[in-house]
Amino acid sequence: MSEPTQIVPQPSPADPPQTTGYAAGAPAAAQPATSGAAPGPTHGAAAPTVPVQAHPADAAYLPAPVPAAHQSGQPGEAPTRPYVTIVLPCYNEGEHVLQEIDRITAAMNASEFTYELLCIDDASTDNTLEVLQQAARDYANIRVMPFRRNGGSGTARRIGTQQALGEIVVWTDADMTYENEKIPDLVRILRDDPSYDQVVGARTTEEGTHKWARVPAKWLIRKIAEKLSNQTIPDLNSGLRAFRREVSLPYLRLLPPGFSCVTTITLAFLSNQHDIKYVPTTYAKRAGVSKFHFVRDAYRYILQVLRMVMYFDPLKVLMPPALWLIVIGVVKAIVDMVRHPFYFPASTVLLIVSGIMIGSLALLSDLVVRSRTGV
CATH number of domain containing 237: 3.90.550.10
Q: Give residue 60's pLDDT.
A: 63
Give the chain as a 3 state SS string.
Answer: CCCCCCCCCCCCCCCCCCCCCCCCCCCCCCCCECCCCCCCCCCCCCCCCCCCCCCHHHHHCCCCCCCHHHCCCCCCCCCCCCCEEEEEEECCCCCCHHHHHHHHHHHHHCCCCCEEEEEEECCCCCCHHHHHHHHHHHCCCEEEEECCCCCCHHHHHHHHHHCCCCCEEEECCCCCCECHHHHHHHHHHHHHCCCEEEEEEEECCCCCCCHHHHHHHHHHHHHHHHHHHCCCCCCCCCCCEEEEHHHHHHHHHHCCCCCCHHHHHHHHHHHCCCEEEEEEECECCCCCCCCCCHHHHHHHHHHHHHHHHHHHCCHHHHHHHHHHHHHHHHHHHHHHHHHCCCCCCHHHHHHHHHHHHHHHHHHHHHHHHHHCCCC
Same domain flag for 96 and 170: yes
Q: Give residue 16's pLDDT.
A: 37
Same domain flag for 109 and 251: yes
Q: Give residue 67's pLDDT.
A: 41
Same domain flag for 224 and 303: yes
Q: Give residue 42's pLDDT.
A: 41
Same domain flag for 179 and 110: yes
Same domain flag for 325 and 187: no
| Domain total of the chain | 2
- Does the residue 78 lie in any domain? yes
Same domain flag for 275 and 319: no
Q: Give residue 18's pLDDT.
A: 35
Q: Give residue 364's pLDDT.
A: 95
- Does the residue 296 lie in any domain? yes
Same domain flag for 159 and 278: yes
Same domain flag for 240 and 322: no
Same domain flag for 265 and 339: no
- Does the residue 20 lie in any domain? no
Same domain flag for 337 and 224: no
- Domain range for 112 is 56-312
10-residue mean pLDDT series, the chain (375 residues): 43 38 36 41 50 66 51 50 96 93 96 96 94 94 93 93 96 93 97 97 75 74 83 91 96 86 91 93 77 69 82 90 96 91 88 96 92 74
Q: Give residue 363's pLDDT.
A: 95
Same domain flag for 237 and 356: no
Its pTM surpasses 0.85: no
Q: Give residue 132's pLDDT.
A: 96
Q: Give residue 220's pLDDT.
A: 82
- Does the residue 41 lie in any domain? no
Q: Give residue 127's pLDDT.
A: 93
Same domain flag for 307 and 326: no
- Does the residue 34 lie in any domain? no
Q: Give residue 354's pLDDT.
A: 97
